[in-house]
């Protein structure tokens, strides 16, 4: 297969598997999505979805969040990990949203990335899922799969994002980044990988990846 044919095969397979794409993190608006994505750093979506109802019951707007202390937020979110940094980030960004953005999440990459504890990936998820702006946030699943599929050298997430944006049509980015995440979880995980169930890697995968798997 040519690279173009591999891309087409990947996109068709993902669309066939995931014609409707659920958003992994539970939320009701851009603000709660922003908080949920922030909490998901080095945690799992399942764990975050158990904690956010407890947090949002207390505060689901910037106005309510700043009424809590950093320690109160930290106590609630402790199970997701990195709670000292995340609680300060949530409290701090809530103040900034009120002071600089009329209490609303900005629809702007630069403004989002200027918020405490909000990195490029978090900003990309919010722009894509809350506002429908084309973005290709790269998580561990996307980073792993684009390497396995030979679409990126996998040296770092910045390069992986650049490669993904170069290969895939812009209008498909928002769907594809979610489809690849779901595919990675179900068919091509980091651990417990069963290549016979992983049709994309089995069909187009990097030779070195397939050989390494055969040796196991």
Q: Which residues contact 78 (CB under 8 A, 6 or more apart)?
A: none
> Quick check: is 121 catalytic?
yes
Set 45, 121, 163, 198: catalytic member: 121
Set 139, 153, 175, 211: catalytic member: 139
> Quick check: is 139 catalytic?
yes
Angle, CA of 8, 211 and 194, to the nearest 5°:
70
List active site positions.
Answer: 121, 139
């Amino acid at each position: 297969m040519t690279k173009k044919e591999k891309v087409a095969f990947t996109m068709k397979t993902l669309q066939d598997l995931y014609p409707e794409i659920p958003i992994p993190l539970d939320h009701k608006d851009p603000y709660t999505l922003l908080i949920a994505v922030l909490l998901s750093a080095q945690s799992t979506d399942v764990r975050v979805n158990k904690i956010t109802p407890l947090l949002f019951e207390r505060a689901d707007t910037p106005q309510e969040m700043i009424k809590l202390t950093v320690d109160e937020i930290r106590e609630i979110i402790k199970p997701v990990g990195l709670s000292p940094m995340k609680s300060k980030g949530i409290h701090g960004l809530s103040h900034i949203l009120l002071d600089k953005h009329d209490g609303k999440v900005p629809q702007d990459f630069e403004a989002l990335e200027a918020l405490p504890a909000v990195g490029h990936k978090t900003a990309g998820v919010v722009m894509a899922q809350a506002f429908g702006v084309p973005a290709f946030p790269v998580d561990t699943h996307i980073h792993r799969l684009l390497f396995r599929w030979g679409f990126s050298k996998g040296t770092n997430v910045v390069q992986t994002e650049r490669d993904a944006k170069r290969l895939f049509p812009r209008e498909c980015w928002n769907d594809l980044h979610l489809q690849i995440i779901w595919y990675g979880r179900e068919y091509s995980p980091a651990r417990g990988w069963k290549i016979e169930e992983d049709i994309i890697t089995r069909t187009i995968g990097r030779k070195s990846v397939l050989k390494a798997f055969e040796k196991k």
